[in-house]
Chains A and B, each alone.
Chain A
């Protein structure tokens, strides 16, 4: 039963951190190139623009949910299961979500990279 809870937590971590990454990425694309913007309007104006972006706030909320789910997951399952499983799965779900929601050109190169990193993360924890 405990392992079912742990996998439930892993699913929530993967979903919320993927949603968080996609929302943060969308927010920053809406804000624009931070380096160029900073030279034009200054650091404080850039900061205000980021903090006022609804996608950014929602993204941070998702990331916070992912963090607390991780804490719950760790109380139900082993560190060596919860962390690598959720991290490596997030690399793959992020590639899918970025293609669907951000319309990124996820070509063969990026798929291979995501799969290699996901596999590598699993091996680190073995």
Chain B
């Protein structure tokens, strides 16, 4: 794992959290959409906050796909769940929402999960590479 790859994982977490945040705020500005006026859902992207949210979520998706191209799904998902932590910190310190004790406990569990998974390897090599690795380590041992 290089610094650049950690930056991509941070991008997944950051853009998912902020993108969702912008969309939530934008939808509150737009208000309820009635089932009888469903086409209105297409017009909500004209709201600048929602447009920004969509843009951020596009960046999130690009980062997510990039991460999946070199890391396991079972590594990327827990590692990027740090976005829940970011969202709660935004809620507490920027939106001044009340964050309860159980939510802080949830943050603690998620952070522990992130810490756990990022200590391990990010990628399971395909079977062919595994046998090559084994061969390489064997031949290294056999060499005088």
Contact = CB atoms under 8 A, between A and B. Distances in A.
A4 interface: no
A21 B77 CA distance: 9
A35 B74 CA distance: 20
B77 A34 contact: no
Contacts of B84: 120-121, 124
Interface residues of B, number: 37
Interface residues of A, number: 39
Contacts of B116: 109, 112-113, 116
Contacts of B103: 123-124, 126
A39 B12 CA distance: 21
Contacts of A15: none
Nearest to A22: B73
Interface string B75-104: 111100100100010000000000010110
B142 interface: no
B73 A109 contact: no
Contact of B113 (A35, A104, A106, A117): A117
A116 B106 contact: no
Interface in A39-86: 50
Contact of A28 (B69, B111, B112): B69
Which of B72, B107, B114 has its CB near the most chain A CB atoms (within 10 A)? B72
Given A98-B74, A104-B72, A114-B74, 6 more contacts: A25-B72, A33-B69, A34-B66, A91-B78, A102-B73, A104-B74
